[in-house]
Structure 1
Amino acid sequence: MEGEPTAELIRAQLRRLRVNAELSQEEFGKLVHFSGSQVSAVELGQRPLDRFFLKRADEVLGTGGLLTSLLKLAERDGQPSWFRPWLEAERQAQQLRCYQPTLIPGLLQTENYARTVIRANGTLSDDEVDKRVAVRIDRQSIFLQPSPPELVAVIEEVVLRRVDEDFQGIMAEQITCLIERAGLPNISVHLIPTEVSMHVGLTGPFTLARGVDAGWIGHLENHLGGVVIDKDDEMAILLSRWEGVRNEALSRRQSIELMKEVVTSWT
């Protein structure tokens, strides 16, 4: 991310705001709890942009959250090219439909669950894990909009029960969060019970988004990334498969009761 244009803009804005406030790097560093040399390294691009640092800088410089907002944009810019069109579709969606056979959907993940899932990729550094977690959680900000999208998520019951002693606390927190989200008027969570052994959705996860133009687009995930689907014939197949998985799922109320039962069984 450090070579991206948005990251360069953050550093330029930071320098400009600091100079306008008539603060030396040393003086500014004391106010944000960093050393002067660390401030210099950030401004020169020799140190990664840090969320805590920029949050403190926003507070000290009275920017109204400018720098942290730009950091979110920089993190999005740093996403793979195949994912950026979907992020844009997700942000503009009025309706979202998601089926996940193996994991909690990203838009409903807690930070601890997201971190555990992302850290399972042993090739990522701690810094890269932090960046990916931040982007995933930031995606959920679409539900804080004045007119948030409607989300209907279908999840396999087995996803909730895939847990060991080390993961149990994180999973209990995640399911509790799911129950809370499912109580919101614009979010529905539906479970496909384990006794449904075979159905059309098991070939893989997919998400559908409907924008202001009333048109649908889809997103398919795989081990190498993902692909955005917008052709009419392919979308017709995905919409049909959505109806298939939705018809196998429990009602909203039954799903919430099952989630409560899963958490209770551990305690």
Structure 2
Amino acid sequence: MEGSTADLIRAQLRRLRVAAGLSQEEFGKLVHYSASMVSAVETGSRPYDRSFLTRADEVLDSGGLLVALLRIAEREGQPSWFLPWLDAERLAQQLRVFQPSLIPALLQTEGYARAVIRCDDLLSDEEVERRTAARLDRQAILDQPEPPQLIAVIDESVLHRRDERFWPVMVHQIEQMIACAERPNVSVHVIPLSVGLHIGLSGPFSLARGVDGGWVAIMENQLTASPTDGEADLATLSARWETVRNEALSRQQSIQLLKKAAKSWT
């Protein structure tokens, strides 16, 4: 979600709560949140979701204002199920990303992103360009004065998916990933083909830790993605993260493998 839209929703939430004469603790009890959680949502250190905004509209008798603002954000280009994750990603202090089949979105070049998005032949050229721009916009978090720590784990097969359309794209993509991996706040780790089968092949997932220390996760599939901060889901994905991270090469070994893969494309 665009920062301005997210900030507007938070500002309206606080305004409505204050106008209703409710403290953060009183409001939290009504929407089943702790006072500290309400504070975190209002200050932007914790993401919100549709169910929270729906409850807030009901408690504050706002006529559906907060959900209406969320719909505006959706019309601006992002599906509703993805907005909580974009908010969590934008606010994260640490990001853990696992991708078994693609370069992670935060590390994609414009050419690679466009080529991947264009694989969906149901999209118009205009929509492909819009989605490409939106994906690149997300990468701005890595250039902030205090950027999050990004740890990305990929499967080596991602580097060898041969397609003539990808030939010039992949060389640039791998070179950029090497440059990113050499930044102090970014680590890229590769699971070598020699590992064979591993639990990560079940699908991609990401974890984001906010300033409050809380984690949010997202699991992706063909049609949607499922953001969650449920304790059981986070425990499962954290365990899977440890598994795929342990299967991967070290930072320097991964950079050397990336350099070797770049040469294979040239």
Give distance in 2, aligned partners of 1:261 and 1:170: 16
What percentage of aligned pairs have identical amino acids? 59
Flag the 1:126–1:162 CA change in 2: closer, same or farther, 3 A: same
Q: What does 1:248-267 align with in structure 2 at a 5 Å threshold?
A: 248-267=247-266
Give distance in 2, aligned partners of 1:76 and 1:196: 43
Give distance in 1, aligned partners of 2:218 and 2:82: 9
1:76 Cα offset (Å): 8.1
**TM-score after normalising by structure 2:** 0.71
Paired residue for 1:209? 208
Give distance in 2, aligned partners of 1:137 and 1:76: 19
Q: Unpaired segments of 5 or more residues in structure 1?
A: 1-5, 7-72
User: Which whole-Å deviations, capped at 9, do the CAs of 1:164-204 have from their partners, x for residues lacking one?
Assistant: 23311100100000000000000000000001111111110
Q: What does 1:93-108 align with in structure 2 at a 5 Å threshold?
A: 93-108=92-107
1:77 Cα offset (Å): 3.5
Paired residue for 1:184? 183
Paired residue for 1:92? 91
CA RMSD of aligned residues (A): 1.5
* Kept after mapping to 2: 8 A contact 1:76/1:84: no
Q: What does 1:195-206 align with in structure 2 at a 5 Å threshold?
A: 195-206=194-205
* Kept after mapping to 1: 8 A contact 2:189/2:249: yes
Corresponding residue SS for 1:220 = strand
* Kept after mapping to 2: 8 A contact 1:163/1:171: no
- 1:174 correspondence with 2:173: yes
Give distance in 2, aligned partners of 1:246 and 1:220: 17
Corresponding residue SS for 2:194 = coil
Give distance in 1, aligned partners of 2:263 and 2:75: 38
Paired residue for 2:21? none
Task: Give the AA of the match of 1:247.
Answer: N
Q: Unpaired segments of 5 or more residues in structure 2?
A: 6-71
**TM-score after normalising by structure 1:** 0.71
Flag the 1:108–1:101 CA change in 2: closer, same or farther, 3 A: same
Give distance in 1, aligned partners of 2:74 and 2:225: 18
Q: Which has the larger radius of gyration?
A: 1
Give distance in 2, aligned partners of 1:257 and 1:193: 12
Flag the 1:243–1:263 CA change in 2: closer, same or farther, 3 A: same
1:214 Cα offset (Å): 0.3
Task: Give the AA of the match of 1:167.
Answer: F
Q: What does 1:128-207 align with in structure 2 at a 5 Å threshold?
A: 128-207=127-206
Aligned length: 196
